[in-house]
Amino acid sequence: MCGIVGYIGNNDSKEILLKGLEKLEYRGYDSAGIALRNERGIHVFKEKGRIADLRGIVDEDVMANIGIGHTRWATHGVPSKVNSHPHQSTSGRFTLVHNGVIENYDLLKREFLTDVTFVSETDTEVIVQMIELFVQEGLEVLEAFRKTLTLLHGSYALALLDAQDDETIYVAKNKSPLLVGLGDDFNVVASDAMAMIQVTNQYLELMDKEIVIVKKNDVTIQNLNGDIISRVPFTAELDASDIEKGTYPHYMLKEIDEQPLVMRKIIQTYQNEQGELTINPEIISAMNESDRVYIIAAGTSYHAGLVGKQFIEGIAKLPVEVHIASEFVYNMPLLTEKPLFIFISQSGETADSRAVLVKVKEMGYRTLTITNVPGSTLSREAEYTLLLHAGPEIAVASSKAYTAQLAVLAILAEVTAKSQNIRVDFDLVHELGIIANAMEVLCDSKELFEHISREFLSVTRNAFFIGRGVDYYVCLEGALKLKEISYIQAEGFAGGELKHGTIALIEEGTPIIALATQESVNLSIRGNVKEVVARGANPCIISMKGLNMDEDSFVIPEVHELLTPLISVIPMQLIAYYAALHRDCDVDKPRNLAKSVTVE
């Protein structure tokens, strides 16, 4: 949450920063700002709203070779011009952008800054005022920065400008992501390589509690004791075109359409030369040595975990529990003797999941992260990582990462089963190939889903998604997709559970989207549909070929029954997409949300 950029070099930094912020908008988009430093001092431009709004107020005539920028997802203080970053110290000498949360900011205010008049409600202003205070007390800027950092409790990625220094951006990080990008006669700072990929693909990864002194031709990393740390840069494997919308009106639609391609990429990546699926043997040993898998995740990734449980238990015969990260961290269940923790996270940065990771590592348990982002915090900090290979997912609502998570979980289950000589009665490579083809058929049926969305959701305030077994888990995801981007109140329910209370909400015309892809519950879910229809509901049944009946609104192609969530979710994604479009909602950047949830 919140995105940071910085540039120091020979060119005008304005456009580089603004373009970078546009790429980071997925991290927060309620306000934005930049600070440009030139021979006349530091010029701050900030505005409530999107980067487009910020562009409107930036003075084109201000040229500066050094600058920092920020796009915000509000935590302390409402989204407003005054609360947006950059923040400045009272004298105006120091200017700071911050991503993260300082837990003890109020305490620091009372202990050190009683004489300071604050202009914003943010925790960030405390940091910049402390740096100024320590400089006024006689410390060098670097020492004042370091001393301030040692007093902060919480998470931060910071970039600091000093009006009296035209050669340096001071940078630091703890728990929030931050990279330094290396160029020829320039260097950059970014929360995500995506922001600066147009200027460099060489990056230095930063570790927690490191300070970086970034100059035009030099980058020095230190720890909080001042020891110099050497680090080899990595090449960001990002294609600039991966992060463009191309001809698509929205990233979400592009990402939905990319799912067949991602599926094929996953099959290819996880296959060896003999065509067998393969996974790092150490991960498979960790699976085999564990007596229970605990999947920890949030939101869509949690929903993927629920399906993953079916895969791992069904294929590898290993018991699995799935937990919401933010609950697990404070309310841990009794654990078995040899648990293996699997963290599922598209971004690899989710603070709730990280809090669990830190805790279970302290307890000495084994950990695996399944993520889309190599080098992300959860990936770095877990013992093992499996990558999704889905390519950057930019729309806030997750689509291709979900299906990629399911595919990787299925592969993990299959390889574990085979390592134990557990019979798997289908060929997963072949079945995933069928899935990729079926995905294509669904993506080619957009008009139908547009029509379904118009027919069932155009005027409603609420909607219910019902299913049984694994369909229920897909319904949870379908409901989340619909509510987060169209703001229609939507709930996913186990079909049989409706009559235990929720059926009271059914009125004339209430839309019910029912999934019927499982033979064993096909008749019972249809029975549940009849119960709500008898009370006036408007049913939209999506079934799988072979189980379909005359009244169904859409029939998805037949795939292996265990793997149906990989394709039954696509109608849900498209229905939600069109519902949002019909309501004129901002599909890619829904209100109040951010792509990467880096605060607990």
Which range binds ligand F6R by CB under 6 A, 243-251, 345-353, 463-471, 570-578? 345-353
Q: Which is nearer to ligand F6R, 297 or 415 (CB)?
A: 297
**Shortest Å, Cβ 386 to ligand F6R:** 14
Q: Which is nearer to ligand F6R, 353 or 367 (CB)?
A: 353
Long-range contacts of 50-56 (CB under 8 A, 24+ apart): 50/25, 50/589, 51/18, 51/21, 51/22, 51/25, 54/18, 54/21, 55/18
Q: Residue 30, CB half-sphere, CA atoms under 13 Å: how many? A: 20
Does residue 157 touch ligand F6R according to CB under 6 A? Answer: no
Check the CA dihedral 11-13-14-16 and report its sign: positive
Q: Which is nearer to ligand F6R, 83 or 598 (CB)?
A: 598
Coil, strand, or helix at residue 432?
Answer: helix
Does residue 298 touch ligand F6R according to CB under 6 A? Answer: yes
Which range binds ligand F6R by CB under 6 A, 237-245, 343-351, 430-438, 496-504? 343-351
Q: Identify which of 356, 354, 394 has the alpha carbon closest to the alpha carbon of residue 376.
A: 354
Does residue 299 touch ligand F6R according to CB under 6 A? Answer: yes
Backbone angles phi, psi at 236, to 5 degrees: -75, 120
Which range binds ligand F6R by CB under 6 A, 24-32, 53-61, 158-166, 293-301? 293-301
**Shortest Å, Cβ 192 to ligand F6R:** 12
Q: Identify which of 253, 345, 265 has the alpha carbon closest to the alpha carbon of residue 298.
A: 345
Catalytic residue status for 595: yes
What the block records as the tokens of 403 is 């299906």
Does residue 133 touch ligand F6R according to CB under 6 A? Answer: no
Does residue 129 touch ligand F6R according to CB under 6 A? Answer: no
Q: Which is nearer to ligand F6R, 301 or 564 (CB)?
A: 301
Distance CA 144, CA 403 (A): 47
Q: Which is nearer to ligand F6R, 181 or 478 (CB)?
A: 478
Q: Which is nearer to ligand F6R, 379 or 398 (CB)?
A: 398
**Shortest Å, Cβ 305 to ligand F6R:** 10
Strand partners of residue 71: 3, 32
Q: Which of 124, 168, 300, 598 binds ligand F6R (CB under 6 A)?
A: 300
Does residue 369 touch ligand F6R according to CB under 6 A? Answer: no
Distance CA 169, CA 188 (A): 9
Catalytic residue status for 147: no
Closest CB to ligand F6R belongs to which residue? 299
Which range binds ligand F6R by CB under 6 A, 136-144, 187-195, 268-276, 292-300? 292-300
Q: Tell whether omega for the bond before 86 is within 30 degrees of 0, i.e. cis.
A: yes
Catalytic residue among 2, 443, 475, 540: 2
DSSP track, 451-517: HHHHHHHSS-SEEEEEESTHHHHHHHHHHHHHHHHH--EEEEEEGGGGGGTGGGG--TT-EEEEEE-
Q: Which is nearer to ligand F6R, 553 or 598 (CB)?
A: 598
Q: Using the CB atoms, write b or e for 63-89: b if 16+ within 10 Å.
A: ebbbbbbbbbbbbbbebbeebbbbbbb
Residue 352, class by beta-carbon neighbours within 10 Å (0-12 exposed, 13-18 middle, 19+ buried)? buried
Q: Which is nearer to ligand F6R, 197 or 390 (CB)?
A: 390
**Shortest Å, Cβ 373 to ligand F6R:** 8
Distance CA 299, CA 305 (A): 10
Does residue 484 touch ligand F6R according to CB under 6 A? Answer: yes
Pairing of strands 234-235, 202-205: antiparallel
Coil, strand, or helix at residue 229?
Answer: strand
Does residue 310 touch ligand F6R according to CB under 6 A? Answer: no
Which range binds ligand F6R by CB under 6 A, 223-231, 264-272, 294-302, 330-338? 294-302
Q: Which is nearer to ligand F6R, 347 or 517 (CB)?
A: 347
Does residue 301 touch ligand F6R according to CB under 6 A? Answer: yes
Residue with tokens 């949360």: 101
Q: Contacts with ligand F6R in 451-480 (CB under 6 A)? A: 480
**Shortest Å, Cβ 396 to ligand F6R:** 7
**Shortest Å, Cβ 422 to ligand F6R:** 29
Q: Contacts with ligand F6R in 376-435 (CB under 6 A)? A: 397-398
Residue with tokens 């898998």: 293
Residue 600, Cβ neighbours under 10 Å: how many?
16
Q: Contacts with ligand F6R in 346-365 (CB under 6 A)? A: 346-347, 350, 353
Does residue 345 touch ligand F6R according to CB under 6 A? Answer: yes
Residues in CB range of 149: below 8 A, 6 or more apart: 156, 172, 174, 209, 211, 224
| Residues belonging to the active site | 2, 595
Name the residues that contact ligand F6R, by CB under 6 A.
298-301, 345-347, 350, 353, 397-398, 480, 484, 597
